[in-house]
Amino acid sequence: MGMHRDAHIVWDWNGTLFHDVDAVIGATNAAFAELGLEPLTLERYRELYCVPVPKFYERLLGRLPSEAEWELMDTTFHRYYTEHRVRCGLAEGVAELLAGWSSAGRSQSILSMYGHEELVPLVRGFGIEPHFLRVDGRTGPSGGSKAEHMVRHLGALTGVAPERTVVIGDAADDALAARHVGARAVLYTGGSHSRASLEAVGVPVVDTLAEAVAEAERLAS
């Protein structure tokens, strides 16, 4: 791909570029129902959500789920989510933001904890894949942190310097993954976390992706 000396964005997918919060809440509540837990509202979900996901379940159960419980909930979540994601679309203004960043000669990529085999055709289906140097989803078991995936992702990008890279995501884990590789982060309130929990991480927090891109440009300049 050649050298990319300008700013680079690593985008998160779920809850960031892909506005799927309704499907996520529905899938979470379907998983909770398997253990007889009460359904969560969006506000309560954002207050409690954390990574790794079993710790999120611990906040609700008062204990870590057993291996059998985790497998049941994880399977239920992904089955429901797969059925309902078809009603979800890109977040507001995404196509224009991606095109604008690319046309300015800057580079971008996607790193998601959504399964790689499901992620790639989904991105391709929205017609935005050409904007990205690389699209990486999760390989291996679900429920973990993004940090080591970020190491591999940036390592596969020729000429992208961590210090000129900004991770844009909707979860505290995105900022932790950025910090792990020496990159910056901007967190977006449209996904899985409340503003208060995002602000506790100590990185810029924004309410729109347009603001996130402007902040990324500032941080990487």
Q: Which tens digits make up the pLDDT trace of 113-143?
A: 999 999 999 999 999 999 999 999 998 877 6
pLDDT digit string, tens, across residues 31-79:
999 999 999 999 999 999 888 888 888 998 899 999 999 999 999 999 9
pLDDT at 2: 38
Whole-number pLDDT of residue 54: 85
CA distance 206 to 190: 9
pTM for the whole structure: 0.91
What is the widest separation between alpha-carbon atoms in the chain? 53
Give the pLDDT confidence of 155-203 residue by residue, as tens digits: 999 999 999 999 999 999 999 999 999 999 999 999 999 999 999 999 9
Residue pair 106/131 in contact (Cβ under 8 Å)? The answer is no
In this predicted structure, the answer to whether residue 4 has a pLDDT above a threshold of 50 is no
**pLDDT at residue 5, rounded to an integer:** 53
- Report the SS3 class of residue 165: strand
Quick check: 172 and 193 in contact, CB under 8 A?
Answer: yes
pLDDT exceeding 90 applies to what percent of the chain?
Answer: 86
DSSP 178: H
